Amino acid sequence: MLEKLTGILQRFEDIEKQLAVVGDDYTTAIELSKERSDLEPLVTQARDYQQTLARIDETKTLLEADDEELRSLAELELDTLREKCNQLEARLKSLLVPKDPRDQRNVIMEIRAGAGGDEAGLFAADLFRMYSRYAERQNWHSEILSLHETGIGGIKEVSFIIKGKGVFSRLKFESGVHRVQRVPETESQGRIHTSTVTVAVLAEVDDVEINIPDSDINIDVFKSAGAGGQNVQKNATAVRITHLPTGMVVACQDERSQLQNKTRAMSILKARLFEIEEQKKQAQEAATRRSQIGTGERSEKIRTYNFPQSRVTDHRINLSSYDLGGVLDGDIDAFINELTLVDEAEKLTLVEE
């Protein structure tokens, strides 16, 4: 850890030297200032840690003094310094845990009905409401990007954006397969059915982070199939974008103008492509580290919502809540907090190694 701290302190000093001579290069100044601000809490603790270690070495020399009273005071001082040193080490390890650079970003969530027919669509609507209510509880803003309903109150597929402080840090572990076990209203014999819904959480991407050449996409326009007034009905405002290298298709039709739908479709496409790159990185990292909370892949069953038992179980951390109604009303902090703690503990082991 000392080697890591030495490197960080050296980098901090280099940044301060560069800031002193950066002049009118405001772009560089902003970048350096941000990096300095990010490092400052760690640097403050690191310097205190180094000073404490130095004082421990100095105090140890007093243990060999002829004066018994001086030796006794030195022993007391050492106990105090060692306790402080342990506390500083714990703080430093926490600060050294790698931060996900996407944590402060907005997210695009995609919810799709999986196995289970109409019941899966109804549960997809339940999950959409759950995340919408959670966003309200956090004072975030959510907005639908694309919506395909089943006609019986269910949802075949919905894409929506959630904007606010630290949204991705709170929702990134929601990606995966959510399973529901309940008796459908149409089931006369009261048999429990199991259905699945897929949730994807994508970090919103800045235009500068991912470039999609015009030659890689094909854009089609068509008339919206949904409500929206005369403008939507008469004009081809809906947009479908096909990413040719991957075959990925994104369609948006909920806005009243073709430009707005195109902008939103491109935003979703960029977020999906960015996520593919992140998954590749995670797959490479997985060769050396296996996360305790799973990979977040969409094929992975992460949570079960059991209606007969009013139970919600997250299989990655073996945590259950028996307040299913509260969970579906957006009370999911217990799961998110525990998932975050487990992830940080796993990353902390890497720092300690």
Residue 288 lies in a domain: no
CATH of the domain at 135: 3.30.70.1660
- Asked if 192 and 306 touch (Cβ cutoff 8 Å), the reply is no
- Asked if 138 and 170 touch (Cβ cutoff 8 Å), the reply is yes
Give the residue from 62, 96, 130 where a domain finishes: 96
Residues 90 and 111 in one domain: no
Q: What is the pLDDT of residue 186?
A: 65
Residues 230 and 313 in one domain: no
Bridge pairing between strands 248-252 and 301-306: unpaired
Residues 79 and 219 in one domain: no
Residues 156 and 232 in one domain: no
Residue 102 lies in a domain: no
Residue 234 lies in a domain: yes
Residues 78 and 133 in one domain: no
Give the residue from 34, 64, 96 where a domain finishes: 96
Residues 127 and 29 in one domain: no
CATH of the domain at 43: 1.20.58
Q: Which amino acid is at 324?
A: L
Rounded Cα distance between 126 and 120, Å, is 10
Residues 8 and 90 in one domain: yes
Residue 290 lies in a domain: no
Residue 187 lies in a domain: yes
What are 166-224's pLDDT values in tens digits? 899 999 999 999 999 998 876 767 788 999 999 999 888 765 567 788 888 888 888 76
Give the residue from 96, 126, 154 where a domain finishes: 96
- Which residue pairs, CB below 8 angstroms and at least 24 apart, start in 135-143? 135/162, 135/164, 135/330, 136/330, 137/330, 137/331, 138/164, 138/167, 138/170, 139/164, 140/164, 140/167
Residues 180 and 307 in one domain: yes
Domain limits for position 274: 214-278
Residue ranges of the chain whose pLDDT lies below 50 = 227-232, 285, 287-298
CATH of the domain at 252: 3.30.160.20
Residues 204 and 123 in one domain: yes
Residue 92 lies in a domain: yes
- Asked if 267 and 108 touch (Cβ cutoff 8 Å), the reply is yes
DSSP 194-235: EEEEEEEEEE---TTT----GGGEEEEEE--SS---HHHHHS
Residues 330 and 251 in one domain: no
* Domains of the chain: total: 3
Residues 203 and 149 in one domain: yes
Residue 272 lies in a domain: yes
- Asked if 212 and 243 touch (Cβ cutoff 8 Å), the reply is yes
Residue 36 lies in a domain: yes
Q: What is the pLDDT of residue 211?
A: 77
Residues 114 and 8 in one domain: no
Distance of CA 118 to the CA centre of its chain: 30
3-state secondary structure of 113: strand
